[in-house]
Amino acid sequence: TLLCVGDFGDEPRKELAIRYSSDSTDPNWYRARRSDGQEGMIPANYVQKRSEVKLNAMPWFHGKIVRELAEELLHPRQDGLFLVRESTNYPGDYTLCVCFNQKVEHYRVIYKDNKLTIDEEEFFENLTQLVEHYEKDADGLCTQLKRSVPKKGSLDFSVDSKAFEMAGWVINKSDLKLGEVIGKGEFGDVVLGNLRGQKVAVKTLKDSSKAAQQFLAEASVMTSLRHPNLVQMIGVVFDWPSVYLVTEFMGKGSLVDYLRSRGRLHVTKKDQINFACDTCAAMAYLESKKVVHRDLAARNVLISDEATAKVSDFGLARDESFNQEGGKFPIKWTAPEALRHSKFSNKSDMWSFGILLWEIYSFGRVPYPRIPLADVVQHVEKGYRMEAPEGCPPEVYEIMRKAWDLQPELRPTFSDVLKSLEHLRTSTTG
């Protein structure tokens, strides 16, 4: 898939997401199809190829460890042995710990105007850039960085604006107009935007270095994923100290609000099975890519003007081999093994999908309505399961029950569940 900036026919020039083929005899022209289905030829220079944005591993970043533990880890004290940790004295800042002359020097890494700096002369977008700079040259430090102490367990990652630029995802700030606030995101407000005449949703970033990296990590995950039932990323705007993530606009809002505001009078059985199939199709795609969502719920599924459901909010999405430590997880939607042992997988997503199905068929009620939040996990582990919502087809409730098996390996796959739901869709009317 390419981004087309251009036009064909008599339409005004505008940005379009297109599928293309280069079967024209002239390599300077592409056959393109616009979002309304009209086809035509466009100049090759109107088309920009996009690629996936890769994350950089940070094996030397040890997160929240105290000064004493950092010094313990830095053995033997060879000049240039180093690690990076979160600052204990200055929350939001970092500390670079380096061995020199049998001692450990601790340099405060200051976070200022969305950049990182040690000396307020050299500024860096992320920790990876900072480390790479001092690996090449001591530049005022006691010594050049030579070898890191790698962290045990799951690693943290960084990403930078240049990677998005090189991969073709950067949008000029002048092309984007920001409107009213339409929601709250994990990192800041979500506002309605206008990108060269096209309505878009824009996630804005709260001012924090850590948030900036998480925000860009979310965006990088989105560059590798494309499915009709996933909210599509359009691009990223870098306007330091602000960063904006631009996605397609979903006119009918979140699934949970849609269900609650319309209720039984307006949401038909056909609508319900369509929403279930759409969401399951997106999750089967993520499963095939070995991507774990971690926060699947009706509030994170959005509805388009055409009433298509699309999964959104990849704020926590990661490859299944990574763990998120110390995150805040929505207890009623999260599988017991994920809550207890941080074991997130496509199978824990399946548990959440079972809860989402219950939300769809209860018209957006909050799960476990009669159980206090603090008691939910205990009840579930003892075998309690929610009853089928009124009017829920028995086949759908059966999927919920299988999704809520305490043993993750006994839960079905999304691709299997999709077959069952698609079969049910063909026989559902009204």
Pairing of strands 81-86, 147-148: parallel
Cα end-to-end span (Å), the chain: 36
Catalytic residue among 278, 295, 313, 349: 295
List phi, psi (to 5°) of 24. Answer: -70, 150
Contact 386, 376 (CB under 8 A): no
Q: How many CB atoms lie within 10 A of CB 358?
A: 25
List residues forming the annotated binding site: 203
C-alpha–C-alpha distance, residues 291 and 280, integer Å: 14
Does residue 295 carry a catalytic annotation? yes
Q: Residue 182 is inside which H or E element, if any? A: strand 176-184
List residues forming the annotated binding site for ATP: 203
C-alpha–C-alpha distance, residues 170 and 24, integer Å: 28
All residues at 6 or more sequence positions from 85 whose CB lies less than 8 Å from its CB, including other chains: 61, 62, 63, 64, 65, 70, 94, 95, 97
> Please, what's the b/e burial string for 120-139 (b: 16 or more CB within 10 A of its CB; e: otherwise)?
eebbbbbbbbbbeebeeeee
C-alpha–C-alpha distance, residues 423 and 429, integer Å: 13
* Residues involved in catalysis: 295
